[in-house]
Structures are given as C-alpha cells and as structure tokens.
Amino acid sequence: QYLARTGDSVIGQVIFRGSEGYRVDIGTATTANLDALAFEGATKRNKPNLKVGSLVYARISLAHKDMETELECLNPTTGKAEGYGELKGGILADNLDINKCKSLLEKNSPFMNTLMQGFGFPFELATAMNGKIWISAPSTSQTISVYRTIMKADKDGLESLNDEWFADIED
C-alpha cells in the first residue's frame, strides 16, 4: 500500500464529488481531498467539472498521519497546471513497482529512453509515485503497445525490452 508523502505526484480516481471539491482514491488507507479551487485558473464561479470515476494527476500538498491528505492540481510555486489535472482517454497501468515509477521520473531515465527509442510514434505518460502510470498514444493499439511494454518491464525487468520485443510491437 502506498504511503502518501508531501510533494509526491500521484494518480487517483474521483470517488465522491461535493460542492467544494472531491474525494480521491490514491491507493492509501484513506481517501484524499482535492479542493475544487486547487486547479490552475479555478475560481468560485469557474471550477473543474470532474465526474465520479475521473482520473486525476495531482500533487500531494499535505500528508500527515493525523490529518487528511490534501491534493492539488497545480504547481504551488507557479500556479500553473504543468501537467496536473484530469487525465482524459488513455489507459492506466496500476500496481507497478514504485522504484520503476521513480526511474521513469529521473532525468535521462534509461527506462524512458528505452521506451522513446523503441517506439516510432509519440506517446504521453503521467508517472505517479503511487505505482500508477497513465498512458496515451495517437491510437488505441499504440496505447496498448506502450501499456504492454511497461507491464513487461515491470514484471521481467528493463533488460527484457530488447530489439526483438520492439520488432514484434505494432506501430
């Protein structure tokens, strides 16, 4: 089970929608709170319209054992979304090794470099410290190819992603 830490980027699913915000399942023992104003440009009159079941990429703004975990969908320094917010389309790879997720977030990540060199098409990843990765590519089959590759690397190790593996993947 994931242990929330302030500053971590996480992917969660909206499980309750209230007038002031949302309850989000991020894989911890309790749900996290996401205030409706914790988004870039949000005001009392202009709030995001997330539905129950929506996926969000968020930053943990408060994590303490005696308090409710708080999320925000913006960089607190700049006030900009910078990739945080609702994740639309794509698919979710879940229950991944947290160390593999960390390795994708590293600068010049060998894992990310392998993925980028292996595929001949663009794709988007939202990598979270709670063992989740959201994947989106131009087509459904390409999205599934990236998903299968990430799941293989998670199970069999990065070295399993050789030229033969990528040759068998459809573009």
Give the model's pLDDT for residue 61: 98
> pLDDT tens for residues 9-54?
999 999 999 999 999 999 999 999 999 999 999 999 999 999 999 9
pLDDT band of residue 110 (cuts 50, 70, 90) is confident
Give the model's pLDDT for residue 106: 87
CATH number of the domain within which 28 lies: 2.40.50.140
Give the model's pLDDT for residue 8: 96
In a domain, 97, yes or no: yes
Same domain, 103 and 42: no
Q: Which whole number is the average pLDDT over 88-101?
A: 93
**Residue 136 reports pLDDT greater than 70:** yes
pLDDT band of residue 162 (cuts 50, 70, 90) is confident
Same domain, 15 and 59: yes
Give the model's pLDDT for residue 91: 97
Same domain, 83 and 13: yes
What global pTM score does this model have? 0.92
In a domain, 1, yes or no: no
Q: Number of structural domains, the chain? A: 2
pLDDT band of residue 167 (cuts 50, 70, 90) is confident
Average pLDDT of the chain is: 93
DSSP the chain: -----TT-EEEEEEEEE-SSEEEEE-SSSS-EEEEEEEETT--SSS-----TT-EEEEEEEEEETTEEEEEEES-TTT---TT-EEE-SSEEE-S--HHHHHHHHSTT-HHHHHHHHH-SS--EEEE-TTS-EEEE-SSHHHHHHHHHHHHHHHHH-GGG--HHHHHHS--
Give the model's pLDDT for residue 170: 58
Among the three residues 87, 106, 124, which one is the final residue of a domain in this structure?
87
Supply the range of the domain harboring residue 14: 9-87
Q: Which of 25-39, 100-114, 119-133 has the lowest mean pLDDT?
A: 100-114
Same domain, 138 and 81: no
Same domain, 95 and 156: yes
Q: Which whole number is the average pLDDT over 89-117?
A: 90
Give the model's pLDDT for residue 41: 94
Residue 55, class by beta-carbon neighbours within 10 Å (0-12 exposed, 13-18 middle, 19+ buried)? buried
